[in-house]
């Protein structure tokens, strides 16, 4: 099947021709990029660029087609509305004039699918790091499930906001990478919430540091070290949650050498395989739209013209994945052994005790790594005991060594919750979270790996990302993290999520705490668009 594809979500007017009987690398791609004179991307100017450039790149791509076109694919979203509409109109006109099927492709799914197909991996965890988005995803039950994502802005856009502040032109990422080469580390915020993350605090701190006279090279170096370490950490957390040993990178920010180096080093340290496509398939391009478009067309996943409207907020977990089978689930964990490798630590089981050692992460800057290991060890010991005082079943803390990142706990439960997901068990989790929220702190990483199940009790463990707070947003993030982990590890995630939320609401009422406000805030979090 020979596919003509058109891409134009924001800045890159691109067209490609791809024959699915050849290697994806063989796709012909023609791109004409929009370059603003100053500042960031202006939607009206970008759309004008699309109107001018799209016809040219299509003509060039068609001239390279070695035979008739069998389908036309286009980037349906997410993206800037005016740009998407220009591309959608061109694709409809092409499909109509050629009398071939029309395929609407999710831009973010195309970013991860090109890496999955080129790598030959079975069912990898996928990290999308692009200008306007950042997600960690895994395939399960007919969809790509969002295991973690940015809570404010995309990683590339966040970096661009800093570079605009200091007067650098778009795109800012390559300029930050160059300036960081001779920089030294200065402390900046580091925000990871389970497998979610936030960039607003670190960007504000970076701007303030520059305004105070910190050398720009030091700020850029530290920005990269923290932001990319956050992305690498959540990718490792997703590998740990799902049991996968394969990671694929997608998105334009993936062209950064330091990010790829961190991800490769993390995967090597835990014995996982890592793949990053060549740069032309990482930045926005029609080649990835063509490759996924061919898969979708073969699966019969095409659009009638009247139902082909673009969607600027098209999330990857809204896409029905028709081209993959249910047996390709990303979640495939093994039986528990005497030693388990988590995302942060090794856990060794003894007869009645558990020894947890936070492993130094060589991909992180040593100063950052030491701080995180020390602070998280102290918090884990403190909040595990605090939760126990408020009636939540947790292991007794026998010993703690912050300098070594080591804790010794009572051994509790027989298995992780993810192996025994039932409505009663997840309702226990809802009640446990309501109790600690009423006590004024959050768990921080309440995934299906961080609860243990025994014959009659469900235990909360691993409070290393917890902290004290009275903010409903923070409590809602706990619920959000648990819901995402259900989506990535459960076959009946929706029913389990309802049981979890019902129990949380009921227990919050008993504690006379703000359960309804927290659930309302959870709905607001879930409704946020990520294309910013």
Residues serving a catalytic function are: 445
Query: Is the N-terminal amide bond of 206 cis, ω within 30° of 0?
Result: no
- Which H or E element spans position 147? strand 143-149
Structural tokens at position 33: 């990029």
DSSP string across 251-262: SGGGG-HHHHHH
Q: How far, in Å, are 28, 211, 259, 442 from residue 181 at the CA level?
A: 34, 21, 13, 38
Q: Which of 282, 300, 275 is nearest to 107 (CA)?
A: 282
**Is 113 in contact with 288 (CB distance < 8 Å)?**
yes
Task: Return the ∠ at Cα 523 (arms to 308 and 135), rounded to 5°.
Answer: 60
**Is 381 in contact with 462 (CB distance < 8 Å)?**
no
DSSP string across 223-288: HHHHHHHHHHHHHHHHHHHHT--EEEEESGGGG-HHHHHHHHHHHHHHT-EEE---HHHHSS-HHH
**Is 291 in contact with 277 (CB distance < 8 Å)?**
no
**Residue in this structure with the two tokens 């609407």, named with its chain if needed:** 104
Q: How far, in Å, are 289, 415, 431, 500 from residue 507 at the CA level?
A: 47, 25, 5, 11
Q: Which of 291, 215, 231 is nearest to 24 (CA)?
A: 291
Q: How far, in Å, are 135, 203, 229 from residue 262 at the CA level?
A: 17, 20, 7
Task: Return the ∠ at Cα 254 (arms to 248 and 259), rounded to 5°.
Answer: 95
Alpha helices in 133-243 (DSSP H): 155-165, 173-179, 200-211, 216-242
């Amino acid at each position: 099947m020979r596919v003509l594809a058109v891409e134009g979500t924001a800045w890159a007017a691109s067209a490609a021709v791809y024959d699915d009987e050849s290697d994806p690398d063989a796709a012909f791609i023609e791109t004409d990029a929009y370059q603003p004179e100053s500042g960031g991307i202006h939607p009206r100017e970008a759309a004008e660029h699309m109107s001018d450039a799209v016809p040219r790149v299509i003509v060039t791509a068609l001239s390279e087609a070695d035979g008739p076109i069998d389908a036309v694919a286009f980037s349906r979203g997410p993206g800037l509305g005016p740009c998407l509409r220009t591309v959608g109109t061109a694709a409809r006109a092409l499909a109509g004039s050629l009398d071939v099927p029309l395929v609407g492709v999710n831009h973010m799914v195309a970013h991860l699918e090109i890496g999955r197909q080129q790598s030959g991996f079975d069912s990898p965890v996928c990290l999308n790091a692009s200008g306007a988005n950042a997600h960690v995803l895994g395939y399960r039950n007919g969809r790509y499930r969002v295991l973690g994502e940015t809570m404010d802005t995309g990683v590339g856009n966040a970096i661009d906001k800093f570079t605009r502040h200091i007067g650098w032109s778009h795109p800012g990422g390559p300029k930050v990478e160059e300036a960081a080469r001779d920089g030294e580390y200065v402390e900046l915020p580091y925000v990871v919430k389970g497998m979610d993350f936030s960039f607003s605090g670190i960007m504000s701190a970076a701007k303030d540091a520059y305004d105070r006279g910190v050398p720009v090279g030091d700020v850029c170096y530290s920005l990269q070290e923290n932001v990319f370490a956050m992305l690498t950490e959540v990718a490792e957390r997703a590998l740990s949650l799902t049991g996968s040993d394969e990671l694929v990178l997608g998105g334009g920010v993936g062209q950064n050498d330091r990010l790829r180096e961190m991800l490769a080093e993390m995967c090597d340290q835990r014995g996982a395989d890592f793949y990053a496509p060549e740069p032309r398939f990482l930045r926005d391009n029609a080649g990835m739209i063509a490759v996924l478009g061919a898969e979708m067309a073969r699966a019969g996943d095409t659009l009638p013209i009247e139902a082909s409207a673009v969607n600027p907020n098209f999330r990857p977990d809204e896409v029905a994945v028709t081209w993959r089978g249910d047996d390709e689930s990303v979640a495939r964990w093994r039986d528990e052994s005497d030693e388990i490798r988590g995302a942060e630590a090794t856990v060794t089981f003894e007869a009645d005790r558990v020894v947890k050692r936070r492993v130094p992460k060589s991909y992180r800057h040593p100063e950052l790594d030491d701080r995180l290991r020390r602070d998280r060890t102290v918090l884990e010991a403190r909040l595990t005991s605090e939760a126990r005082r408020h009636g939540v079943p947790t292991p007794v803390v026998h010993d703690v060594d912050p300098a070594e990142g080591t804790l010794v706990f009572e051994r509790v439960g027989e298995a992780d919750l993810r192996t025994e997901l039932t409505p009663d068990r997840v309702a226990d989790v809802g009640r446990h979270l309501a109790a600690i929220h009423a006590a004024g702190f959050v768990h921080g990483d309440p995934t299906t790996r961080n609860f243990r199940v025994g014959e009659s009790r469900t235990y909360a463990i691993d409070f290393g990302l917890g902290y004290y707070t009275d903010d409903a947003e923070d409590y809602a993030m706990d619920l959000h993290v648990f819901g995402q982990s259900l989506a990535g590890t459960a076959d009946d995630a929706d029913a389990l999520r309802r049981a979890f939320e019902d129990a949380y609401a009921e227990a919050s009422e008993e504690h006379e705490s703000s359960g309804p406000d927290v659930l309302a805030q959870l709905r607001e979090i879930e409704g946020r668009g990520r294309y910013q």
